[in-house]
Amino acid sequence: MDHPHTGYIRTPSELDAAFRALERSLGLTSSPQRRLRMICEFYSHARLLPDAWLTGYILFLAPAVLELVRLPYIRNYPPGVWADAYDLVSLIERQPWAERHSGIPESRQAALEQVILAHGFVSSLRELHGWLTQQSLITETLVEKDWSSIFSASTNGYGLFQAYVRLLESKNSSCTEILLRALGTWGDYRRAAAVSVILLDEEADDRQATGRVLLMDIHVHGDQSGRSHITNALGDSGHQTVQQLRNAEVVSDRIIHNHFSAIPPKPQFIFSLHESSAELVGESLGVGAVAGLLVRRTQQMNLRERWSLPSVVACTGSIDAEGNVAAGSWESVERKLQLAFHSPVERVVLPAVHREAALHALQRLQRDFPNRALAVIGVSHVADLPETGGVFQRELLSSYERLKKGVGRHSLSVSLLLMLILLAGGSYLVYLSFYAYPNLEHTRGARVGMSAVVYNPKDSLRWCFRDEKQVIPASVPFGDLEVGDGFTRTFSIWNMTPTDLRVRICIEGPDSVDWYLNRGAHDLRISSVEKADFSVMYNPRSPAMQKEARIVLRDPGSQDELYALELSGSAGKPQVGGYALHFDGRDDVMHFGRGSTAFDLAASATREMTFECWFRPSQDDYNFMLLHNGFYTAAKNEVADLYLGFDSLRTIYYLVGSNADVIRLKRDLRPLANAWNHLALAVSIPQRRIALYLNGEVIEDRIDDFLIEGIGLPHVTIGAYDSEHGKELLYRGDLDEVRLWHRFRTIEEIRRSMGTALNGLTDGLMGYWNMDTNVESIAFNANKRAHSASLLHRPTLVRSDVPLHTPCKDVSVFHTPAGESALELHAGRYLSCSDRVLPRFSEATFSLWFLQTSLPAIHFNYVRRHDGWISIEESYTYTRVQRRFVHIAPGWRHAAFTVDDAGLLTLYIDGVKVDTTRVTMTPPIDWHEKFEGMLLGFRFDKENQLHSRFYDQYFPALSHPRSYRELSVWKRQLSEEEIRGLAASGEIPGRDLVAFWPLDAMPDGYHNFVDVVAGARLHVKRVCSWEQPVYE
């Protein structure tokens, strides 16, 4: 299991302090969910400590733990929490005093079942299999063919888990019994004729989403009119719950009447939750109650339709007396979405106003569990529930069925007639399904995302390339990279037909050697109205003004071309400015949206702001906006307080609050097209002052009587105007060195720093997006004071010759005390090899010399995005499977580690075996799948480590020099004798050596260290803002 916080507690004093804090917290809560989670979190931080240290504390916690894990209702924890609970129960069982406690085996079995279910709910089956193997509960090895059969068996988590269990059952696995029990528990939930509702603990905080997804029964009690009631206890604000149930009865009556022109009876309803101890407060049962009542009423009355609500659909939201769904708190909805994510639920119904935010939150959750499928359905009025796809299962009742229900009898002739009708209808439906089927994208409600290839014979274009609903040219730019660097773009292929689609992905063309598929199989089978994702790495091997290739989709049988995307890129030497961001003027934008808090001028301590950037427009005769802070309300009213743009390069305009100006520029002050220009806007609310600077000259410096304080909820877009019709006034050109200060900067301050790279921690610098570390969809901020930006559509990186002074060097060569030449990576630098040096499936050995110091360092990292990595750090061996502590003495050390075909990694330091761990639980390891680079001096998976929220964790590992020499890679396991000889004499075995970098000289002109075996390149990567001196 991956325990990201494991090892937080390391000394007895820290352990005691942590336990005292836990004891206080347990005394403040009565929630079983929170109590168990807090105990598991404490244990996860202390799990690496000796058992003898923990004995006294575990003795105190044992009664609570053994009781909590046996509670009968399903709880919505991530797999790691239940794995901690299982380990904790196992630790209790090993204690000499364990026999005093009854029911330990039952508690262990209950925890084990919950570990299995928690993995199953998020479709994390590979990780589950690895955990069971690690616990010695299972011995069967599943090959890739087995996993393919599992993940192709179903489109929902239950079906995948069922396929996994059945496969192990066919192999007579020793773990079959507990797996079947978990499958039965899950199946019982799915078969329940009840409404799923999401309840938060009343005392839940923002840090942890604790609560439950529970089933609510709605029973009819007699036919007479009466006041309905709920069997569960009501809390202090239980009157709100009662009012929601009253509203639900009235509104459901109205919906039935409007939909069927029928007057429903008014029986007494009894609402009850499957967990009798649940105490109800708040208003969120309204939507679920209406849904359940509609189901009950259509089943009770003899109507033309019968509605049912699967238990895998969870509802949350309050309603008013008219049936409108209230927006409620996004924080509450977000926590409920987290609970639903770790539950058997497959679809969540919530207020429509929060649907977009919920989809973004869901994407963040899916980064850890990418196979978890959870549909988010938004409703603004409960009358929409029957018409909204994915909520109700609607069964049309024939006249015969209604007659049968009404009079209770039927004749044989009518039965035969109905059978003939059904047979004819079935034949017609087969015809409709496979030949005359409708546009499945519309009828099935498929949501196509960005960079999607769509196959839909029922659309005007059989094949097309789309960003959501917009058809775009089938050409994809990969930018202008430094030779040896790598850049990944992600695509999807949608099949909008009723049968499976088979395609083969090929990369062809004159420069196809510079692109390769680094995620997804070359041969794909895509189910009906489903998608398959894949990604392509651009890794230029030589300089060129223009490189071209094609992604070609072919029929696997005939090899006929089905569709193609044109790829383009260029490459050359590194430039002084690193990288800039290129906007195509068609749809590219840099978007902050909800992550715009740093732009909230009124909320800053100084109530001052300066925005500055370097820009290079592609032409001078068009209107574009560089900065826009504003949005449109639901009533289509614009709310904006800040924008900055040009109406041709002869006129500049801006808005700050209620103050706007349009300035005709003098000829000698106008910015130039196809040249770098510096722009800055400074605002001070206390001084009521606005200043505009262009290329170090004052364009305007004014003091007004009044400056509006801001729109309250900043919503920032760079490179376009965010209008009610979409993005307009799009910028076409390059952008670099975007800086946001929480202070009013004078022209002297602007001139002093505009041509110099800055440290991200410069005083007053809130946001710094220098574009050097951008990936496909993220522009990273250089500190933790502001959010990263989203890159929408496909803006590209281009080599930047912005006039910027960068005083620090990248690398240097020096001599070790033993006289060998070695390489020193300066602060903020690391090396990355985007070439695939290993065969796809093979054993491997990696070897390097490194200088161990007392500072945090990540010496080596092999990145397989989302799926695993190998990381050798200053005190850890870290893989996606587990992190293991190792002690490495200071000084020059030799590290070698082997990986066998079963995914077992063995680490040697100075020729001595020091650790064994696993790289993967699903052998064999595929060295090419999701490959993002082999790194020296850092870990970066193209998504996480440079985000603001990881700054404190990774800045210390990169903000100081690190030294290395002789990196080698073999496509086999070296023997222990060979590794001892390598560490002792430095003699490198030649057999199956696939790459060797001496690292004893400076890089070439393209900042590459070239492998002497096959020419693979280690490229110098720069995170300049993590090492430059502070100039302010």
Q: How far apart are CA 286 and CA 249, in angstroms?
A: 10
Measured in degrees and rounded to the nearest 5, phi and psi for residue 687 equal: -90, -10
Mean pLDDT, range 285-291, rounded to an integer: 87
Predicted pLDDT at 712: 56
How many other β-carbons are positioned within 10 Å of the β-carbon of residue 575?
A: 16
Q: What percent of the chain has pLDDT over 90?
A: 42
Q: Which two tokens mark 455?
A: 């196959």
Q: How far apart are CA 558 and CA 992, in angstroms?
A: 37
Q: How far apart are CA 509 and CA 1016, in angstroms?
A: 22
Predicted pLDDT at 103: 82
Going by the DSSP 8-state scheme, the letter that residue 461 receives in this structure is: S
**Orientation angle between helical segments 125-134 and 157-170, nearest 10 degrees:** 40
Predicted pLDDT at 206: 44
Predicted pLDDT at 280: 60
pLDDT over threshold 80, residue 268: no
Predicted pLDDT at 864: 80
Give per-residue burial for 316-343: e unless 16+ CB within 10 Å, then b. bbbbeeebbbbebebebbbbbbbbbbbb
Give per-residue burial for 67-85: e unless 16+ CB within 10 Å, then b. ebbeeebbbbbbbbbbbbb
CB of 935 within 8 A of CB of 860? yes
Nearest to 316 by CA among 367, 342, 352: 352
Banded model confidence at residue 2, pLDDT cuts 50, 70, 90: very low
Mean pLDDT, range 841-863, rounded to an integer: 92
CB of 917 within 8 A of CB of 905? yes
Length of the chain in terms of residues written: 1032
Range with lowest mean pLDDT among 106-120, 402-416, 716-730, 929-943: 402-416
Banded model confidence at residue 1, pLDDT cuts 50, 70, 90: very low
CB of 325 within 8 A of CB of 351? yes
Predicted pLDDT at 989: 94
Nearest to 796 by CA among 515, 538, 456: 538
Q: Please identify which residue in the block is written with the tokens 């709310």.
A: 639
Q: What percent of the chain has pLDDT over 70?
A: 90
The stretches of 301-352 forming alpha helices (DSSP H) are 330-341
Predicted pLDDT at 238: 58
Q: How far apart are CA 554 and CA 532, in angstroms?
A: 15
Q: How far apart are CA 753 and CA 737, in angstroms?
A: 11
Q: Which two tokens mark 926?
A: 């595929």
Q: Which two tokens mark 278?
A: 């649940």
Mean pLDDT, range 930-953, rounded to an integer: 86
Mean pLDDT, range 493-518, rounded to an integer: 94
Q: How far apart are CA 857 and CA 723, in angstroms?
A: 46
pLDDT over threshold 80, residue 344: yes
Cis previous bond, 924, omega within 30: yes
Q: Please identify which residue in the block is written with the tokens 């400590």.
A: 49
Range with lowest mean pLDDT among 406-410, 551-555, 842-846, 919-923: 406-410
Banded model confidence at residue 738, pLDDT cuts 50, 70, 90: very high
Banded model confidence at residue 355, pLDDT cuts 50, 70, 90: confident
Q: How far apart are CA 791 and CA 949, in angstroms?
A: 18
Q: Please identify which residue in the block is written with the tokens 């129960």.
A: 89
CB of 584 within 8 A of CB of 532? no
Distance of CA 646 to the CA centre of its chain: 36
pLDDT over threshold 90, residue 221: no
Nearest to 306 by CA among 366, 254, 256: 256
**Orientation angle between helical segments 157-170 and 144-151, nearest 10 degrees:** 140
The one-letter amino acid at 1027: E
pLDDT over threshold 50, residue 5: no
Q: How far apart are CA 604 and CA 786, in angstroms?
A: 12
Q: How far apart are CA 830 and CA 816, in angstroms?
A: 20
How many other β-carbons are positioned within 10 Å of the β-carbon of residue 100?
A: 11
Give me the sign of the Cα torsion angle 652, 655, 656, 661. Answer: positive
Q: Is residue 849 helix, strand or coil?
A: strand
Range with lowest mean pLDDT among 125-139, 198-212, 548-562, 880-894: 198-212
**Residues whose CB is less than 8 angstroms from the CB of residue 945 and which lie 6 or more positions away in sequence, other chains included:** 938, 939, 953, 954
pLDDT over threshold 80, residue 891: yes
Q: How far apart are CA 285 and CA 950, in angstroms?
A: 37
**Residues whose CB is less than 8 angstroms from the CB of residue 185 and which lie 6 or more positions away in sequence, other chains included:** 74, 113, 117
pLDDT over threshold 90, residue 853: yes
Q: Which two tokens mark 686?
A: 């206390």
Three-class DSSP labels, 766-785: EEEECCCCCCCCEECCCCCC
The stretches of 655-717 forming alpha helices (DSSP H) are none
Banded model confidence at residue 930, pLDDT cuts 50, 70, 90: confident
Selection from 360-374, 535-549, 619-633, 912-926 with the highest mean pLDDT: 535-549
Banded model confidence at residue 273, pLDDT cuts 50, 70, 90: confident
State the distance between the two ends of the chain, measured CA to CA, in whole angstroms.
Answer: 45
The one-letter amino acid at 933: G
CB of 660 within 8 A of CB of 716? no
Q: Which two tokens mark 284?
A: 């969120």
The one-letter amino acid at 709: E
Range with lowest mean pLDDT among 64-78, 737-751, 832-846, 928-942: 64-78
CB of 520 within 8 A of CB of 558? no
Q: Which two tokens mark 52?
A: 């003898």
Q: Which two tokens mark 798?
A: 């281009």
Measured in degrees and rounded to the nearest 5, phi and psi for residue 668 equal: -75, -5
Q: How far apart are CA 129 and CA 122, in angstroms?
A: 14
Range with lowest mean pLDDT among 14-18, 691-695, 835-839, 1012-1016: 14-18
Three-class DSSP labels, 603-671: HCCCCEEEEEEEEEECCCCCEEEEEEEEEECCCCCEEEEEEEEEECCCEEEEEECCEEEEEECCHHHCC
**Residues whose CB is less than 8 angstroms from the CB of residue 296 and which lie 6 or more positions away in sequence, other chains included:** 218, 220, 269
Q: Which two tokens mark 610?
A: 């300066």
Nearest to 189 by CA among 105, 267, 121: 121
Q: Which helix (H) or strand (E) holds 822?
A: strand 821-825
pLDDT digits (tens, 9 = 90+) for 120-142: 999 999 999 999 998 888 888 88
Q: Which helix (H) or strand (E) holds 22?
A: helix 12-27
How many other β-carbons are positioned within 10 Å of the β-carbon of residue 311?
A: 19
Nearest to 455 by CA among 446, 465, 463, 466: 463
Strands 470-472 and 475-482, how do they pair?
unpaired
Q: Is residue 436 helix, strand or coil?
A: coil
Q: How far apart are CA 829 and CA 812, in angstroms?
A: 11
pTM summary value:
0.62
Mean pLDDT, the chain, whole residue set: 86
Beta bridge partners, 614, equal 678, 736
More confident residue, 906 or 399: 906
Q: How far apart are CA 598 and CA 608, in angstroms?
A: 11
Nearest to 231 by CA among 289, 274, 286: 274
More confident residue, 394 or 779: 779
CB of 704 within 8 A of CB of 688? yes
pLDDT over threshold 60, residue 66: yes
Mean pLDDT, range 784-799, rounded to an integer: 92
Q: How far apart are CA 593 and CA 610, in angstroms?
A: 19
Q: Is residue 824 helix, strand or coil?
A: strand
pLDDT over threshold 50, residue 544: yes
pLDDT over threshold 80, residue 411: no
Q: How far apart are CA 505 and CA 524, in angstroms?
A: 8
The one-letter amino acid at 124: S
How many other β-carbons are positioned within 10 Å of the β-carbon of residue 222?
A: 8
∠ Cα 67 341 781 (to 5°): 115
Q: How far apart are CA 57 and CA 63, in angstroms?
A: 12
Q: How far apart are CA 1011 and CA 988, in angstroms?
A: 14
